[in-house]
Amino acid sequence: MPARLSSFIEVKRDSDFPLENLPFGVFRPRNDAARVGVAIGDHVVDLAVLEESGHFGPNQRIFSTDSLNAFLALGRPAWRRTRATLQQLLAADNPALRDNAALRERTFYRQSEVEMQLPARIGSYTDFYSSFHHAHNVGTMIRGPENALMPNWKWLPVAYHGRASSIVVSGTDVRRPRGQIKPPDAATPVFSPSRALDFELEAAFLVGPGNSLGEPIRVNRAEEHIFGLVLMNDWSARDVQTWEYQPLGPFLAKNFCTTISPWVVTLDALEPFRRPLAPQDPQPLEYLRRDEDFTYDIRLEAKLQTAAMPSPHTITRTNFQNLYWSISQQLAHHTVGGCNLQPGDLLASGTISGASEESRGCMLELTWRGANPLQLQGGETRKWLEDGDTLAITGWCEGEGYRIGFGEASGRVIGA
């Protein structure tokens, strides 16, 4: 393992944001406009100020804006140059920023003193269904274990197009949705607030440079088009979904809110935690085959805190490696028919569940459709999420003396 990097900014050992990470996001200081920054320790680095000072070249002006889209469009060589420049500027032995008090005063903010925004203008959002254990569990509930997976599931990365306008940044309240619900013993549906509100523990990646309409992205070129990953909670109204999803899939059950973490962790930061993708059987069709395809060792947790609880309770632990289909395959499949992706598009993994009961990524699985309620601290139980509940998803990679973290994707449920 390489030696841990050292910055003149204090970074605690358990911080999500050491010098090895430097995730990108969009923040708004008090009484000022939003701009692009990176996180280090408990601080945010204002990239617009560094850009204005000429640290990224004399002609670049892309960080004094409220989205990463222009930066995403530049591509991986530019992303790598920017990250390398920042690691040099923030290094403990580099006086350029360390010893310039006036520039330092303008460049650094405490994370507690800024408001985080969505990191990009998300034009389109796609949600995959790429976790074998999640798909198998849900299919078992509906069709039984013998027919748990649909015939196509191991041949292609199943997905549907989601609603981009209702994607929100972590910390935004989630209003309980209303919709049509058909109780099992009723002859007709009723219109009411959802009684089976759920979370879905997911990860998602932001697209960088897109592709032209009709020109697919090959699976072995996918990394050139993927900027980095965020955490995601794709909130779901299971009772609304049960009634509406046939024949076209979820609609109101999913379009009311999707929460993502504000910091985007780059593929370069994740590189030390790259792992081989598990063998796939049957072998995918040729356009989905890649030599040495990969995944990442990202530990994931979901914590639930009710209004009555003094602290959150961990309800699941899983890992990004539980995905059957890789991000390269997801991107290649998305474009193989000619679909044109654009900078800022968001592609999500679908619920990430593991093989054990403790690693299931949603209430639907954790409580087995409400049959086995969760036992929480203080004696409370939950079949589904209730008003006042806060659900927070966290994720990190464990290095030698440091961690590459994502922060959190958190939301509190409020009444319909």
Six token digits for residue 199: 């979370």
Rounded-to-integer distance, Cα 276 and Cα 319, Å = 14
List, as one string, the DSSP characters of 187-256.
SS-EEEE-SSEE-BEEEEEEE-S---TT-PPPGGGGGGGEEEEEEEE--EEHHHHHHH-TTT--STTTTT
Q: Are 347 and 204 in contact (CB under 8 A)?
A: yes
Q: 356 Cβ partners below 8 Å, 6+ apart?
A: none
Left, alpha or beta for 218 (phi > 0: left; psi -120 to 50: alpha)?
beta
Measured CA angle at 362 (ends 302, 410), to 5 deg: 40
Tally the C-alpha atoms within 13 A of residue 191's C-alpha that lie toward its C-beta.
Answer: 1
Residue numbers annotated as active site: 134
Residue 164 CB-density burial (10 A; 0-12 exposed, 13-18 middle, 19+ buried)? middle
- 3-class DSSP state for residue 7? strand
What is the residue whose two structure tokens read 């692009």? Answer: 36
Residue pair 89/50 in contact by the 8 Å Cβ criterion: yes
